[in-house]
Amino acid sequence: MKVGILALQGAVAPHAEKITRLGATPVLVKKPEHLDSLAGLLLPGGETTAMLKLAGLNGLWDPLCRFVREKPSFGVCAGLILLAREVTHPAQASLGLLDVCVERNGFGRQIDSFIGAQMPTQEWMDAQPIEGVFIRAPRMTQVGERAKVLLTWNAEPTFVQQGHTLGASFHPELTESDKIHAYFLNLCKDAHHG
């Protein structure tokens, strides 16, 4: 199974390692044709302003919009911002798919980076906390009715799901656990074989 990683800018390699370790094939997506035959797409952390600019330059914006509506996608940090319905601090364009409002750098600047235990809600598959790394992380200030919260930190939503779309404020690729990536790959498998 091939799973894409948006590779315009940002932390691509750690996600590719996790996807490979879990038995899928990562495909680096930089042009529209790279989306062909993918089971899903991961949008990694990085700098959203640069990603938006490069997506426009590479003719990737409209194909991305279509892809994330039809197939499983997972936005991490900056990727969450790209998928969100609304972005603040400052406002910016997004794919508008995930029913959340996010505040850019809502958890603080680079020097405020931290590691925190993500607590599962009843919607998550088990009761074990999951470690999350927060680096200039976006804060979900609103979660709409169409999205369900899977994990929280200090009672704030940090990992959400809406259909086959996932969004995380933190970086699961920078921890030992593969649970989050495995969960995403299962969504891709289900959609791929469905």
Model pLDDT for residues 50-109, shown as the tens digit of each residue: 999 999 999 999 999 999 999 999 999 999 999 999 999 999 999 999 999 999 999 988
Q: Which of 15, 103, 164, 173 is catalytic?
A: 173
* Closest to 54 in 3D by CA, of 111, 12, 110, 106: 12
Structural domain count, the chain: 1
Tell me the three state secondary structure of residue 166: strand
Domain with 25 in it: what CATH number? 3.40.50.880
Q: What is the pLDDT of residue 111?
A: 84
**How far, in Å, CA of 107 to CA of 158, rounded?**
11
pLDDT of residue 109: 84
| Rounded CA separation 78/44 (Å) | 6
**Active-site annotation holds for 171:** yes
Residue 19 CB neighbour total at 10 angstroms:
27
Name the token pair of 150: 């899977």
Contact criterion met (CB below 8 Å) for 97 and 128: no
DSSP alpha helices (H): ranges in the chain? 13-21, 48-57, 61-70, 78-83, 179-193
> What does pLDDT average to over the chain?
95
Contact 89, 81 (CB under 8 A): no
- What is the per-residue pLDDT across 124-154, written as a single tens digit (0 to 9) for each? 999 999 999 999 999 999 999 999 999 999 9
**Whole-prediction pTM value?**
0.96
Question: Strand, helix or coil at 51?
Answer: helix
Q: Does the annotation count 193 as an active-site position?
A: no
Owning domain of residue 111: 2-193
Please confirm, yes or no, whether 77 is among the known catalytic residues. yes
Single out the catalytic residue among 15, 34, 77, 164.
77
The rounded percent of the chain whose pLDDT value lies above 70 is: 99
Contact by Cβ (8 Å): 99, 68 = no
Parallel, antiparallel, or unpaired: how do β-strands 139-143 and 130-134 relate? unpaired
Annotated catalytic residue within 15, 164, 171, 181: 171
